[in-house]
Structure 1
């Protein structure tokens, strides 16, 4: 694909996009070309070109809206802007920021980066929202592992972005293959109810799991498909013995979900039967309201999906604060560079 930057309304008009044989998400080249920008940035360029102001030097600042959080998406923004003739300063990936705090500063000719404002604000806003939610839920779990299971709740185009941001926020792993790899970890997860329903017996699946999984891979078995969870946990523990690492509880909401009482019962029954080493992994609707009670009841690890994936973006705004070195700002904002000593040069 031609990766030349789209620069005019004529090019926009002539752009033909087929809805056949493609996913509707923007691919890498389309984002780099500027095809995900708001049209008003193309109109801006047409006006600046007409007035011979395309090469105007500016200083622009990106700041958080009405909420603080953890910054994520910096690496992606850096990749988007790295071949431009500009200088960029930013808070580091994973750093906390306050409401209205400047998180990034860009200096250079406006025409070299202005078209990407839509894209990089979206990158920072979404990733920071996901990372912040991940950090919060992990802080409640303490030293108990939290794995992001949120890929199924978002469009597949952004699932890897979300799960990478979750790991930035503190999640110990991610189930999405690409998301985990981008975050520098191996994907984590067990197997779904589908395999149990197809096979017809939890113990048979557990035995096959032990046989076919790579050596050293923890054996974690879902125990809520057919029978009472405590009964099924004991059946699997008796069949696998010391080879069983964990049982996973994902009881559906139709049966009340996974409750602290259920976790407490299974922990007691496993201990009484001589399987204190078998851990309990809880998934399905885990959120900040439910997690502390599950921790207290004896849960050892958590799969967290929609709480992270449904996190609202943290709004980001970009303002021009200098033109050709002269302080300026729109009404309501203070002209000139904001004091932001925590910013570090990244480009």
Structure 2
């Protein structure tokens, strides 16, 4: 994928989005901010405003994904008519160590105090999700990813944050040679991936409506005859049987590589024809030694357990090749987080595309960003224990 195009499209999406999903007016921001910031604002108004500098950081390693938050701040400053100096310490997509300041913000204490709550909401989760997406892409560098996070988000603002984050993490991994994310599953955030439209074919609901996997494929092909065809094959628990039936019905698609099957097998059962013993055997046939190197129960499940395991993917590849369909692609989904992607790499799983929203942080407490004032009217001052924040602000002042 052209990462320059993706970056340009992402910038355009950012330019069009901000101010739409976040409040800019003072009264709405005050109503959503922690109340002590509103009281602080009143006290400072009473005793006299001053310029302050905030340092913003996260306590764990992340990928810098600050433009969402910074763009919102700049729009607030423009709307409310105050001067904001924002220094991004790291370029977008750059790796950031735990506790390293991401931003230094300088401006009126009266104006900035109420913004802290909403700023931190927009920053931490995006940076952690970008780091997860980056790690996933590097774990499977030859495999393209599709972002499918929207259904797991609590609303559009989170959806926008997570789509943006996946785009940032993907481009960081692409700079290191990974394929990264080639798109996402909805139109609204497609611009973060350099696209105009979301990607995807059918949900399980269409198969239920059609009454069979084959009929759902036929319906899709009739309405979208010029599109590549990706068919979900786990609805009836007959992944291999239904896959081969679809291949027989669409031999040209299969021969030309325009047919893909998507494995989304429920975690409560094995792929058709597999059980624990046969799953071990599949891996031994295709990637000897992998099963002997597993390091945890979670990794063992990803390799030979229920759901979309490495053994399930290898078994599907075997079945396709044995039936004479080597060009049919395998798309996988269901819990493909960093750990699962790493396990798939260890097993050399023959994956053509990963669909996932599992870059959304698992442990929300890791996403908590923090802001501390480190200078008042130019005098450096910070609470005890946060002196580490002063180093780069001082370096920035000297450079300026």
What TM-score results when the alignment is normalised by the length of structure 2? 0.72
Partner of 1:88: 86
SS at 1:297's partner residue? Answer: coil
Contact 2:55 2:389 in 1 (8 A): no
1:40 counterpart (19, 22, 36): 36
Aligned twin of 1:10: none
CA contact (8 A) 2:22 2:72 kept: no
1:306-345 alignment, distance < 5 Å? 306-308=358-360, 310=362, 312=364, 313-334=366-387, 337-339=390-392
> How many residue pairs get matched?
314
Q: Which runs of 5+ in 1 are unaligned?
A: 1-25
Alignment of 1:274 onto 2:267: no
1:311 offset after TM fit, Å?
A: 5.3
Q: Tell me: CA distance 1:183–1:37, structure 2 relative to 1, closer, same or farther (3 Å).
A: farther
Matches within 5 A, 1:193-232: 193-213=204-224, 215=226, 217-232=227-242
| Structure 2 counterpart of 1:12 | none
Q: Deviations over 1:248-298 (max 9, x none)?
A: 001111212112222112212212222211110111122333334445231
After the TM superposition, which segments of 4 or more aligned residues of structure 1 sit over 4 Å from their partners?
Answer: 340-343
Q: Confirm or deny that 1:191 pairs with 2:202.
A: yes
For 1:76 and 1:214, locate their aligned partners in 2 and report how far apart those are by CA, in whole Å.
Answer: 42
Aligned to 2:100: 101
Q: 1:58 touches 1:321 (CA, 8 Å); kept in 2? A: yes
Q: Which residue of 2 aligns with 1:50?
A: 46
Distance 1:283 1:220, change over 3 A: same
Using the alignment, how far apart are the partners of 2:383 and 2:228 within structure 1?
A: 57
Measured in 2, the distance between the counterparts of 1:77 and 1:204 equals 49
Q: Which has the higher helix share?
A: 2
Cross-structure match for 1:137: 136
Is the contact between residue 261 and residue 330 of structure 2 (CA under 8 Å) also seen in structure 1? yes
Q: How do 1:58-207 and structure 2 match up within 5 A?
A: 58-65=52-59, 67-82=60-75, 83=78, 84-90=82-88, 91-157=90-156, 158-170=158-170, 171-185=181-195, 186-207=197-218
Distance 1:105 1:30, change over 3 A: closer
Gaps of at least 5 residues in structure 2 are 1-19, 171-180, 270-305
- TM-score, normalised to structure 1, is 0.82
Tell me the secondary structure at the aligned position of residue 312 of structure 2. Answer: helix
Q: Distance in 2 between matches of 1:221 and 1:310?
A: 29
Q: Secondary structure at the match of 1:120?
A: helix
Moved more, 30-39 or 194-203: 30-39
- With over 3 angstroms needed to count, the CA separation of the structure-2 counterparts of 1:335 and 1:247, relative to structure 1, is closer
Q: CA deviation digits over 1:305-333, x for unaligned, max 9?
A: 24535353433222222211222222223
RMSD across aligned positions (CA)? 2.5
Q: What is the CA-CA distance between 1:242 and the residue it aligns to?
A: 3.0
- Quick check: 1:61–1:321 contact (8 Å CA) kept in 2? yes
